[in-house]
């Protein structure tokens, strides 16, 4: 059977993914036989062996140890970028860290500039930052800032629009400016003023939205589990908290916890400083963190949004935790449990504890940053979030 050029190019990609063992099954999968496909993709066929070696460096189980010298890693990453999309490079990079124990190696100054910038890399840098040599610390911090700034740029406009829009449309004002007219309410309240002859609506009263926003209309408390499994959620939480803190209508508090507690609220002006205040790893005492927040963060229960971000693997007192969460709900605090705050997959969590929290009125769900914006908008509008969550599941 004759294969099209597109199929042969795909065959080459699969050969590189499967490694040299594929040739034991089919001689047609040899790199020499697929050299023409490499040329069509703009790759020198003579370098296919180098690329094959680069992939084998991570995935070939027959190879022992950590591979070549320190200077090999930049060449390895450079070879991957010649052939694979950035998302594939990021995946291989992550696998290299996990499968080949390359964490220390990847933190070298000559390697860091080559790494794919993403949330996974930031989480790795933060969780193992004690391994970063002094010569590479500034580079590592710069990478974290680059990723954080990019995330903030993508999310900030949406957050501002949602929050200010929700609060501006929950209050009305006598300030009579055309841009503040509440058209829906004005029309609805004046339908009886319809002039059938002139086909005009003659309103008795025009309603206006509030022109002024009140400072700190709502309190937002974020409690973030910083155990190792929550690393990606920690990154997104710091970015979202910093955006919330920049809005004058919200008073935002941020707490990180494992078995200890870090109140990062004073650092919210700079999410990078927030992230470097964390200590990823260790155990988990959710109950202790909730107790601290109850005492220090809850001043106006009916105007407080309480967001617990954790996978619910509790190392503390689970019974007391459920009781405290029930107290928050009963006091009219809008209480949520995010099982993960990330863009990836379904969260792994303690289903039994999650079910118990649902029973006392605490919604528990995995959440992307953009879904969190939608949820907060509904909370501020005093709307039920259940239909939104049902739609996203």
Choices 2.40.30.60, 3.40.50.720, 3.30.43.10, 3.40.50.410: CATH for 215-392: 3.40.50.410
Beta strands 200-201 and 194-195 are antiparallel
Q: What percent of the chain has pLDDT over 70?
A: 68
- pLDDT above 50 (res 62): no
Output the pLDDT for position 13.
Answer: 56
**Sequence-separated (6 or more) residues with CB below 8 Å from residue 105:** 66, 70, 73, 111
φ, ψ of residue 283 to 5 degrees: the values are -85, -165
**Consecutive H or E run containing 358:** helix 351-359
* Segment 317-330 mean pLDDT: 98
Q: Average of pLDDT values for 330-358?
A: 93
d(CA 229, CA 281): 8
- Above 90 in pLDDT, residue 307? yes
Strands of 250-300, DSSP E: 250-257, 261-263
Residue intervals in the chain for CATH 3.40.50.410 = 215-392
Q: Work out the average pLDDT over 350-378.
A: 96
Average pLDDT over residues 146-162: 95
Q: Quick check: pTM over 0.75?
A: no
| pLDDT mean across residues, the chain | 79
Which residues, at least 6 apart from 258, have a Cβ–Cβ distance to it below 8 Å?
A: 225, 226, 227, 279, 281, 282, 283, 284, 285
Provide the pLDDT for residue 284.
Answer: 92
């Amino acid at each position: 059977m004759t294969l099209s050029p597109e199929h042969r190019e795909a065959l080459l990609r699969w050969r590189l993914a499967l490694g040299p063992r594929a040739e034991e099954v089919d001689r047609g999968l040899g790199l020499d036989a697929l050299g023409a496909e490499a040329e069509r993709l703009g790759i020198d066929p003579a370098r296919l062996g180098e690329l094959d070696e680069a992939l084998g460096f991570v995935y070939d189980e027959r190879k022992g140890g950590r591979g070549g010298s320190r200077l090999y890693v930049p060449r390895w990453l450079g070879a991957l970028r010649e052939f694979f999309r950035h998302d594939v490079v990021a995946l291989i990079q992550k696998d290299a860290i996990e499968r080949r124990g390359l964490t220390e190696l990847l933190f070298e100054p000559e390697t860091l500039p080559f790494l794919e910038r993403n949330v996974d890399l930031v989480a790795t840098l933060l969780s193992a930052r004690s391994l970063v040599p002094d010569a590479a610390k500034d580079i590592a911090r710069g990478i974290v800032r680059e990723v954080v700034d990019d995330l903030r740029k993508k999310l900030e406009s949406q957050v501002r629009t949602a929050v200010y829009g929700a609060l501006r449309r929950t209050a009305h004002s006598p300030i009579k400016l055309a841009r503040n007219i509440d058209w829906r309410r004005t029309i609805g309240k004046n339908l009886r003023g319809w002039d059938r002859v002139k086909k005009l609506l003659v309103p008795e009263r025009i309603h206006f939205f509030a022109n002024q926003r009140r400072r700190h209309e709502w309190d937002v408390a974020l409690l973030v589990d910083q155990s190792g499994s929550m690393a990606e959620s920690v990154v997104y939480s710091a970015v979202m908290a910093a955006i919330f803190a920049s809005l004058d209508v919200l008073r935002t508090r941020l707490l990180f916890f494992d078995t200890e507690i870090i109140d990062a609220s004073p650092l919210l002006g700079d999410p990078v400083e927030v992230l470097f205040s964390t200590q990823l790893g260790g155990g988990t005492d959710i109950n202790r963190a909730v107790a601290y927040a109850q005492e220090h963060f809850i001043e106006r229960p009916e105007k407080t949004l309480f967001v617990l971000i954790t996978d619910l693997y509790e190392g503390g007192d689970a019974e007391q935790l459920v009781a405290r969460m029930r107290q928050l709900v009963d006091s009219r605090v809008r209480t949520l449990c995010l099982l993960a705050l990330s863009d990836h997959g379904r969260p792994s969590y303690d289903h039994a504890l999650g079910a118990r929290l649902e029973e006392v009125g605490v919604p528990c769900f995995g959440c992307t940053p953009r879904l969190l914006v939608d949820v907060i908008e509904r909370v501020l509008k005093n709307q039920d979030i259940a239909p939104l969550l049902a739609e996203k599941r």
